[in-house]
Amino acid sequence: MLQELRIQNYAIIDELTIGFDGRLNIITGETGAGKSILMGALSLILGQRADSGVVFNKEKKCFVEGSFHIEGKLGVLQYLEANDLDPHQELVIRREIAASGKSRAFINDIPVNLVQLQELTGMLVDLHQQFDTLSLGEGSFQREVLDALAGTHPGVEQYQAAYKNWQQTQKELDELKGRKQYFQRELDFNQFLFDELEEAAFRPDELEQLDQELKLLSHSETIKAQLMRLVLMLKEGEQPVVQSLRQSLHQLSAYREQHSGIASLVERLQATQVELADIADEAEDLGEKVGLDPARQEQINERLSLGYKLLKKHGVQATNDLLQIKDGLEVKLQEVLNLDDAIARKEQELSVISGKLLDMGKAISKARKQAISPFEKQVNDLLAQVGMPSARIKVAFETGDPGPDGLDTIEFLFDANKSNQFAPIRKVASGGELSRLMLCIKSLVARSMDLPTLIFDEIDTGISGEASKQVGLIMKDLAANRQVICITHQPQIAGKADHHLFVYKKISGEQVRTNIRVLSQEERITAIAQMLSGEKPTAAALENAREMVMN
């Protein structure tokens, strides 16, 4: 609740501190005394845009600060914590406006932007002014009203959780279908590429090995001739090297004992003779294997031609690169098959969730629909009590596809003159009718909804007598469990106050200033009597006022 409002240098307010009660606060005063100025100052801490014109003394800044008690307001505490705004049971909201028009906002001394200010104060204060429909014309508020009367809030919360799950599952299904669509566009091409590589059936490093084999085949005759020349030189010529070494070894071996160095030379010659004989045998063997094979050469050329074509096509350099591409294509093709299975599973999951969501939505719709007729009757009865006997409210209710809050579209329609031409409330222009309509609606749902501080500005426009008395009674009942602040010109409403504030002008030097004070019981009686009969109230007016206050 709003505990205290401090205003400094705003319009013709020099400095004011206003304390509020937790029940019904009534503000009265002569026309032009500054009641609307108070509402303007309050609007600043509720997040309305600032105007430098409200700064009276250009030598100092304008300052509006509100202190709120928020014990038990879980949503408010959660918002403060989520935005690092120093959550405590006591909340201070401040707005400062410089003469230049520059504005700053603070929550618990922490700078915030106007969006944050509006989000938070929307949970604290509901301000109803003339020609201001506010939340009354909003579909979300209308749905909450019906849910409060139908007792469907727990079911709606469960439905909303299920709806989020449904949305997430639908999103996952759409993503799977999108991936399949993407892969599907390339499926035929990828299948062609894969089949081409699969048919080629290359082994690892095959092209590189074939290239080496082709080079060998291309030079087979020259290589064979060179090998045979080597064999001839080593062991088959007129003076074979191996034979010559054997003779030299035999001759030199006879002198081993005569010279110590000869033994070493003999051993080295023996090793060399054996190695050269082995080289000659291997060269002869290679020579027999090497030869021109036109059929094999043609086969290799065809295989290499296919390989080089595929290398160029895929922009790679080696056989193993082609094999990697083939493996990648196989994965993509398999993924399409896997996606079909995943899509089928996800569709089945979504079908189950949709069925449960629809059942929950139907149960909520049934309860809401049952609450409509009693709601219409109760509101219409209350409208007659508050001086609008010709006014009617009607709820347009349509059930369709699942939405964030259920299956239903809810619209409050209003007819002020029994014309049977109902129109959406948001299009109704009469501020007084809207304020009283809001009062009637909120008085019905007050026990079911956690309403914030309610402020009614000029709710009594166009009514008097018994209608004013009924408005006062409704407001008194509404304030039993929450804070209500009302600006009024009607004595019947003022008489119901738990806390009566009187706005007046006073002259300070040559300047007129707005001030406010709390009235004692006797002062209340006098003020209400003046509202009844003028500045100098009659004895009858005083007696009437006393009865209003005492009762």
- Which string of DSSP letters, residue by residue, matches 244-297? HHHHHHHHHHTTTTT-HHHHHHHHHHHHHHHHHHHHHHHHHHHHHH----HHHH
From its phi and psi, is residue 482 left (phi > 0), alpha (psi between -120 and 50) or beta?
beta
Those residues with Cβ within 8 angstroms of residue 444's Cβ, 6 or more apart along the chain or in another chain: 145, 149, 375, 378, 379, 382
Point out which residues pair with 395 in neighbouring strands. Answer: 412
Those residues with Cβ within 8 angstroms of residue 98's Cβ, 6 or more apart along the chain or in another chain: 52, 55, 61, 62
Confidence of residue 376 (pLDDT cuts 50, 70, 90): very high
Q: What integer pLDDT is reported at residue 130 of this predicted model?
A: 44
Residue holding tokens 């005569």? 258
Q: Which of 39, 33, 29 is nearest to 12 (CA)?
A: 33
Q: What integer pLDDT is reported at residue 99 of this predicted model?
A: 83
Q: What is the mean pLDDT of the chain?
A: 85
Q: What integer pLDDT is reported at residue 220 of this predicted model?
A: 65
Q: Is the pLDDT of residue 299 over 90?
A: no
Lowest mean pLDDT among 6-10, 206-210, 430-434, 536-540: 430-434
Q: Is the pLDDT of residue 133 over 50?
A: no
Q: How many other C-beta atoms are found inside a 10 Å radius of the C-beta of residue 157?
A: 11
pTM greater than the 0.85 cutoff:
no
Q: What integer pLDDT is reported at residue 156 of this predicted model?
A: 93
**Mean pLDDT for the stretch of residues 81-110:** 88
Domain boundaries of the chain, sorted by first residue = 1-133+452-519, 206-317
Q: Is the pLDDT of residue 94 over 90?
A: yes
Q: What integer pLDDT is reported at residue 148 of this predicted model?
A: 87
**Mean pLDDT for the stretch of residues 104-133:** 81
What is the helix (H) or strand (E) element at residue 25, kind and residue range?
A: strand 24-29
Q: What integer pLDDT is reported at residue 293 of this predicted model?
A: 64
**Mean pLDDT for the stretch of residues 521-528:** 92
Query: What's the CATH class of domain 1-133+452-519?
Result: alpha beta
**Mean pLDDT for the stretch of residues 375-382:** 92
Where is pLDDT greater, at 427 or 401?
A: 401
Q: What integer pLDDT is reported at residue 132 of this predicted model?
A: 43
State pLDDT tens for residues 478-494: 888 889 999 988 999 99
Q: What integer pLDDT is reported at residue 430 of this predicted model?
A: 62
State pLDDT tens for residues 206-247: 888 888 867 766 666 677 777 778 877 887 767 788 778 888
State pLDDT tens for residues 167-186: 999 999 999 988 888 777 77
